[in-house]
Amino acid sequence: MGEEAENMACKNIAVLMTGLDANVQAETLRGIEDYGKACGYNIAVFVWFTGAYEREKHNVGECNIANLPDLNLFDGVLVFANTLHVSDNRIIVEKLIEKLDCPVVCIGCKIGDNYSVQTDCYYAMKKLVEHFIVEHNMDRIHFVRGVEGNADAEARYKGYKDALAEHNIPFDIERVTQGDFYVTGGRKAVEEILSSDLEFPQAIVCANDIMALTVSDLLTTKGYRVPEDVAVSGYDDTEEGKYHIPSLTTVRSRIYDLGRTACTILIDVVDGKEREKEVLLTDEIVLGESCGCNRGDKLFVDQVNRLKHSEDVAQRTKIHQLIMLEKDIIEGQDYDSWSQSIKSFIESINPEEFYCCVNDNFIDNVFGSDAMIHDSTETEDLLPYTDNVQSIIVYKNGSFKRGTTFESKYGLAELFKETKTPKTYLFTPLHYLDRTFGYFVFVDDVFVRNSSIFIYWLINMGHTLENVRRNTLLRNVTKHLDELYIRDSLTGAYNRFGMERFFADIKKKCLMSRLNMQLSFIDLDNLKKINDQFGHEEGDRVISQAAKILMASTTKFSVVRYGGDEFIVMGNIKTEKEVEDYWKRVNKEVEAYNASGKGRAELSLTMGYKIFEVGPDTSLEECINEADSIMYEKKKAKKNRR
């Protein structure tokens, strides 16, 4: 029973988060994975990348990955609540979790009455500001806030204000910049400081490392020295801050413990154990060089530079692969080319497992010849995942496997199958703005973690697919307009413009392949009599039926409506038998139609055909005249028999 015992169905934890490119989120997730997988749980991470500075429709399309699974299928849900900076996205997640039957643990801040694990941002920021006041004797301290309304951001802001108050330093709103936890917040702070009439600050305290690093770098380009001219600090103790020159003074959150503790509480609750509703972890101040406390030596700087060089080489390699991928997709413009381009890239990064899952209408909507520009552009039509999705590209154990179709509510069917060991499944959206194409799933892979290149890849995939879709629409519209130009509006057969075009193709094939051309001239009998007796509506119906039979009876000849009651059928042939067989099929269909009683008037056709050896000087008009003459003789003979 060894193998059978090992192959057990894992339990599943769903994780909803944004910003896996940040070290804070990546390290918190690592804590979740380590504990959850050790307890036999798969970790299914539904991750998106949004910022307050991005377009609304892009944010909607990104966060839509949270709507993919039926979260009640999971044993429990973990939510990175403090990363929900975009208010609309926060509302989406809050609505999702408020109707769940399974336990929910929020990380970073509370949502509703759910369990939560947080860090004490207030106390740590207060102590950091006091460090500048007491240890560095500073009182001109500028503060760069995080996203307004975010629990961590507000706690850090309050810590700053209370530290000033306790040391009798007047609070000045002019020394506060409303940031956003992103590069844009740091840039805004520098612009406000440099344009302010206030005396230049002695220190700039930022609500996170990203804004602090941006402030430090921008001020350096403006000629200011950090920390000699101005001290700078952040919050989060990121890898970028550690290896920055100067290294960043910051606050180290117990981010790994944050994830591990949240996962511990969730599994305890799943197992029926009692747990406290709120857990608060303490943070720790890390004194770097940017406040003036610690100065690095040359050896350390050299080591950092070598490390950065090594990372730069790896990044350049990845970027080159991404550029080639985009080039291949744009040049391909069809499904097979697109699919092969994705496969080539996936082979180059060689993940443990990879799945490209798409809506069941994906191929038709993006690459299909019937996709048209009048398709819906409303978000409610573009955004949802279809009930069933297809895994069109599957990569496991170094090779590509056959995909499957499954219900989208499962996210990935493999999650709910028996497995030897638990895994981490990272789900990321494939979309352009609010148009959903599908999603990618990386299993136990490092490419997606703490990587801005991965975000570029994701956005690039959505953009290139949208370019392909638009080019498909353009080709389809052009083809449709062309069809209108060369088609007869009543019957759908080709008109004289179409006839000229197809004769050129037929002539070319005759000259290159030693084929002959057959040209049949057809006249619809008694059309005037039908119009007089039954009306023009019935006459038009008979004309349309004749064209329908002529076109349905062949796959290789072109059918042309030459005049009111005249048709031409022409094409390449090897033997005359091909023409004879065609007319046998036509006559059989005409007899069947008349016997059916569907029409008030009888359908009757007279035709004459001739086989031509086509040369460079062959005239279409002369060929038509010869076939017309043969038809006319048959028509006279038919009248004489009556």
* Domain extent listing, the chain: 2-102+309-474, 119-258+273-296, 491-641
51 — pLDDT class (breaks 50, 70, 90): low
**Spatial CB neighbours of 108, under 8 Å, sequence gap ≥ 6:** 80, 81, 82, 83, 117, 118, 119, 151, 152, 258
Q: Angle at Cα 287 formed by Cα 286 and Cα 293, nearest 5°? A: 175
Domains 119-258+273-296 and 491-641 share a fold: no
* pLDDT over threshold 50, residue 1: no
The rounded Cα 561 to chain-centroid distance in angstroms is 46
Higher model confidence: residue 329 or residue 257?
257
* pLDDT over threshold 60, residue 45: yes
Which pLDDT belongs to residue 266?
A: 98
CA 372/CA 469 separation, integer angstroms:
10
With beta carbons less than 8 A apart as the criterion, state whether 29 and 108 touch: no
The class that CATH gives domain 491-641 is alpha beta
303 — pLDDT class (breaks 50, 70, 90): low
Which pLDDT belongs to residue 631?
A: 96
* pLDDT over threshold 80, residue 531: yes
CA 101/CA 114 separation, integer angstroms:
12
Measured torsion, CA atoms of residues 29, 35, 39, 44, in degrees rounded to the nearest 10: 0
CA 31/CA 13 separation, integer angstroms:
13
Q: Is the peptide bond before 246 cis (omega within 30 degrees of 0)?
A: yes
Which pLDDT belongs to residue 427?
A: 96
The dihedral sign for the CA sequence 264, 270, 273, 274: positive
Q: How many CA atoms lie within 13 A of 552 on its CB side?
A: 13
pLDDT in tens, 353-382: 999 999 998 988 888 877 665 566 787 888
Question: Which residue type occupies 509?
Answer: K
Which pLDDT belongs to residue 329?
A: 59
Find the mean pLDDT for residues 384-401.
95
DSSP string, 501-534: HHHHHHHHHHHHH--EEEEEEEEETTHHHHHHHH
| Average of per-residue pLDDT values in the chain | 88
User: Could you say which DSSP state residue 72 is in?
Assistant: G
Higher model confidence: residue 194 or residue 514?
194
160 — pLDDT class (breaks 50, 70, 90): very high
CA 50/CA 59 separation, integer angstroms:
6
Higher model confidence: residue 486 or residue 480?
486
Which pLDDT belongs to residue 552?
A: 95
CA 576/CA 573 separation, integer angstroms:
7
Residue 431 burial (CB count, 10 A): 27
The rounded Cα 205 to chain-centroid distance in angstroms is 37
Residue 125 burial (CB count, 10 A): 28
Q: Which residue do the tokens 């009455």 mark? A: 113
3-state secondary structure of 132: helix
R_g over Cα of the chain: 36
With beta carbons less than 8 A apart as the criterion, state whether 450 and 20 touch: yes
Residue 7 burial (CB count, 10 A): 11
pLDDT in tens, 230-274: 999 999 998 889 989 999 999 998 899 999 999 999 999 999 999
* pLDDT over threshold 90, residue 388: yes
* pLDDT over threshold 70, residue 331: no
* pLDDT over threshold 80, residue 640: no
Find the mean pLDDT for residues 288-300.
73
Which residues make beta-bridge pairs with 113?
A: none
Which pLDDT belongs to residue 325?
A: 61
With beta carbons less than 8 A apart as the criterion, state whether 540 and 490 touch: yes
Which residues make beta-bridge pairs with 13?
A: 43, 76
With beta carbons less than 8 A apart as the criterion, state whether 129 and 159 touch: yes
Measure CA of the first residue to CA of the last residue in the chain; give whole Å. 90
Higher model confidence: residue 20 or residue 12?
12
CA 61/CA 434 separation, integer angstroms:
4
Supply 129's token pair. Answer: 């500001």
**How long, in residues, is the chain?**
642
With beta carbons less than 8 A apart as the criterion, state whether 410 and 389 touch: no
Alpha helices in 514-619 (DSSP H): 527-534, 536-552, 577-596
Find the mean pLDDT for residues 307-332.
56
* pLDDT over threshold 50, residue 597: yes
**Spatial CB neighbours of 337, under 8 Å, sequence gap ≥ 6:** 328, 329, 331
Q: Which residue do the tokens 């009757």 mark? A: 604
With beta carbons less than 8 A apart as the criterion, state whether 416 and 12 touch: yes
* pLDDT over threshold 80, residue 520: yes
CA 153/CA 206 separation, integer angstroms:
10
Percent of the chain, pLDDT > 90?
A: 65
Question: Which residue type occupies 269?
Answer: V
54 — pLDDT class (breaks 50, 70, 90): low
Alpha helices in 411-495 (DSSP H): 452-486
* pLDDT over threshold 80, residue 206: yes
What kind and span of H or E run contains 439? Answer: strand 435-443
7 — pLDDT class (breaks 50, 70, 90): very low
41 backbone dihedrals φ, ψ, rounded to 5°: -105, 135
Which pLDDT belongs to residue 299?
A: 45
Find the mean pLDDT for residues 509-536.
93
426 — pLDDT class (breaks 50, 70, 90): very high
pLDDT in tens, 84-142: 877 788 899 999 999 899 999 999 889 999 999 999 999 999 999 999 999 999 999 99
Supply 602's token pair. Answer: 């009888």
pLDDT in tens, 547-564: 999 999 999 999 999 989
DSSP string, 321-352: HHHHHHHHHHHH-SHHHHHHHHHHHHHHH--S
Architecture of the structural domain at 119-258+273-296: 3-Layer(aba) Sandwich (3.40)
Percent of the chain, pLDDT > 70?
A: 90
